[in-house]
Structure 1
């Protein structure tokens, strides 16, 4: 039985179903392609959304009115470090920290010397992109022992001592942060999040740290470096056959220390904070561990490429949607691999420092109810295709770039965007693309609308169609999936920025924050 009730937190105006209804609401593939087409060609019944409250905007606007700095991105006269030269590199001992907590940075340099560590919060800050929060000069660093691979299935894990421990002031706002390690000639960085589970913001941005680590090839020397994608195999060849089954957070990110596709998250953070949306921040591991109560937010924003999910991550999100929380996936290829988070091999007392995903039948989690693989696969566990939650699912890599082609132009997402059916928004379909698979369907939705249908060239010259999806549930929740890597890029100020995508994103977040008028 579905039980309807008011959400006490935040004084929400839209009623939501009880958590116990999550399974019934999110696992039944009741939508068909016929239903999608039926609602797609005239969807103007939704009333105009209201703007987020002035009180909600004030917190972020006040923070971003402070003096900004672009030092997180580059330092004049310093070159980025690399994995071969190992001029200076480091990592944090946690992906997130609460105000009042402590986070340690472990730094190694090619020669004994002193290092300067600068800590920045990312945002808009007058277009500078960040604010310098703290500077610590004279931190001694030295060359740390090169870790060896413990076996062919694991990436390296460092045992470097802590170079500096940062006590995070309680006044620091939740956000995406970067620590910069600078010597006299080179620089590197390490990202982390300050979470604040006590503040009931309108939106929570979930940074895809598990996916960051899955792609991390450090040290990229064609000898020891392994990611969940490639590494050196038994024959000495650098191939997918040499990939790791486990990758550790206890190592720097390759090169200058910023993860693969980190820019996707940065683009949204800059745009969202400039627009004044009331944002809190968390990581994949926070979602996995339940460190933040996701149901206290009006919506969760998955701003970047969020491919690697544990079962607890997915269950918590499904329960939140059943309770009326909305989701905004601003990329493609979301919730594709089912993974495990396990304690660090170097210190069993530190949880969630290793991401495990065998991607094959040779999986040590098999037989323990924790085998990894694609969520959509039927074995070894029942298939749970990501589309049933997200509305679309990964189709293929995009060769080059293609325009996003508007569909259902009268849908509220496209309000005030100046588009009509067939409008082509250039350079948006890039990287990877999602499509709606009518064989899979979606979970029960009041309406499911495909708001784009974009032909694009896939591998081997084959033509596919990209879809952007909006699921609207009876309890007021919205599940949006951009279905392309290019959506957040269009939020930026550069040559790929597009006012139509920016307005559509405002429509989406306004609808999530305050619901239909």
Structure 2
């Protein structure tokens, strides 16, 4: 490209580099020497763990070694579509099949490595199985109608029947062509076994932010779209409906996916009893949240349907605790609808502030998210700031070494929540704010972040971290904070009734 300005969809860096301050995190196949460019033109190491220098990572075991490729793995992009794909469903139970629809350009053979996210001795994931060598084809171009992009017409490329003995959890299909291009498809394996905690992966919010194809022309999310000159447009011009029948943009990992993976690695390392599901399972009633001691929402979980909120309200009223480890939760109200072929919950709609009728903001529909969380979204945090400890004598901070007014460096980042005095609070037996942290917004005004905990009349605990940086502080190289680790353990141990 010489001295020309490098546009982000040509570099592969995507909007992710600008809007996710943490990236996907350490997973063993994300190793390579590629550099990409963010919005400002700065080089960012997209495929390199913050803890490792650029370059291929030595193999630690056959289970975590990616298929060798000439020159190392290279990220597929949405312009050339070297290899891209999506799954027929977000979550599957052992014994069921999941279908993968994949395009390969130029046509060539490819393979699919299935990884499960977890601790795995510090690797962050383990390879579970590998597909046979498959013949790749160029699938038809995506269909677009009123900014809604869909690939539901793509042919089936590979069907995986999940063996009954596979562990439940968060999985990623890693797609690699013979010439070394790589992309990803996340999915969940769940079952009905009893567990202390149910982890809910925010796939609805992931799809809301998906800009596929990020080609400077076609793609659209609920946040962005393109104009005829390839400029990125804002929310007023974005899609109102997006489809799950399409790949995720760029490398194929959703925005903020690493926040969930950070929590999973940490929780599995310390032996917490986890069940897994995704937000659409909660929406569709495929899980009974009242069966668990606690529900954990590990990452950015901004888009909620009415049935999701109702299910969580019922669970809290029946004694199930709620743990929200991010910020900007339950902000927009959404609807889910079937695909053109009738498959349920494949189209996601959020009208936001457009058109007649009421806003799609929960708080403007007289149901502020603070009624569930105890705090609610306050705004973006342009530059990471310390989280300032408050009420340090509370049991959440016990054995953390944190004292009143201590500053936990970098723990207020991305976006922040706070208590709104004029918004309704949940009914409770006791409520406390565990941080009160100043930061400056984009206009330079001083704002505050707060972390909240309350006990519902049922006895359920409801914790809201109020910052994007909480989950990364559990297990992200370069971001780990032992005080956050201990505080989170104090909370979960109490919910799980551990001694």
Into which bin does the TM-score normalised by the smaller protein fall?
Answer: 0.7 to 0.9
2:173 alignment counterpart: 179
Pick aligned residue for 1:205 from 178, 192, 199: 199
1:40 alignment counterpart: none
1:218 alignment counterpart: 212
2:361 alignment counterpart: 374
1:126 aligns with 2:121: yes
CA contact (8 A) 1:156 1:251 kept: yes
Measured against aligned partners, the alpha-carbon deviations of 1:453-507 in whole angstroms (never above 9, x if no partner) come to 0001112111101000001123221000000000011112522111000000000
CA contact (8 A) 2:142 2:149 kept: no
CA 408–114 in structure 1, closer or farther in 2 if over 3 Å, else same: same
1:301 aligns with 2:335: no
Relative contact order: is structure 1 or structure 2 higher (C-alpha 8 Å, sep ≥ 6)? 1
Measured against aligned partners, the alpha-carbon deviations of 1:3-54 in whole angstroms (never above 9, x if no partner) come to xxxxxxxxxxxxxxxxxxxxxxxxxxxxxxxxxxxxxxxxxxxxxxxxxxxx
2:160 alignment counterpart: 166
What secondary structure, in the 3-state scheme, does the structure 2 residue paired with 1:339 have? strand
1:468 alignment counterpart: 451
What secondary structure, in the 3-state scheme, does the structure 1 residue paired with 2:265 have? helix
What secondary structure, in the 3-state scheme, does the structure 1 residue paired with 2:308 have? helix
1:351 aligns with 2:351: no
2:84 alignment counterpart: 89
TM superposition score normalised by structure 1: 0.81
Q: CA deviation at 1:238?
A: 3.3
1:292 aligns with 2:287: yes
CA contact (8 A) 2:84 2:183 kept: yes
1:340 aligns with 2:335: yes
2:189 alignment counterpart: 194
Q: CA RMSD in A?
A: 1.9
Q: Which runs of 5+ in 2 are unaligned?
A: 1-60
CA contact (8 A) 1:264 1:303 kept: yes
CA 120–462 in structure 1, closer or farther in 2 if over 3 Å, else same: same
Partner Cα distance (1:103, 1:212) in 2: 19
Q: CA deviation at 1:360?
A: 2.4
CA contact (8 A) 1:70 1:129 kept: no
Partner Cα distance (1:503, 1:166) in 2: 39
Q: Which runs of 5+ in 1 are unaligned?
A: 1-65
CA contact (8 A) 1:67 1:125 kept: no
Partner Cα distance (1:293, 1:411) in 2: 32
Partner Cα distance (1:70, 1:509) in 2: 33
TM superposition score normalised by structure 2: 0.84
Q: CA deviation at 1:420?
A: 1.2
Partner Cα distance (2:204, 2:407) in 1: 34
Alignment of 1:310-349 (within 5 A): 310-345=305-340, 347=341, 349=342
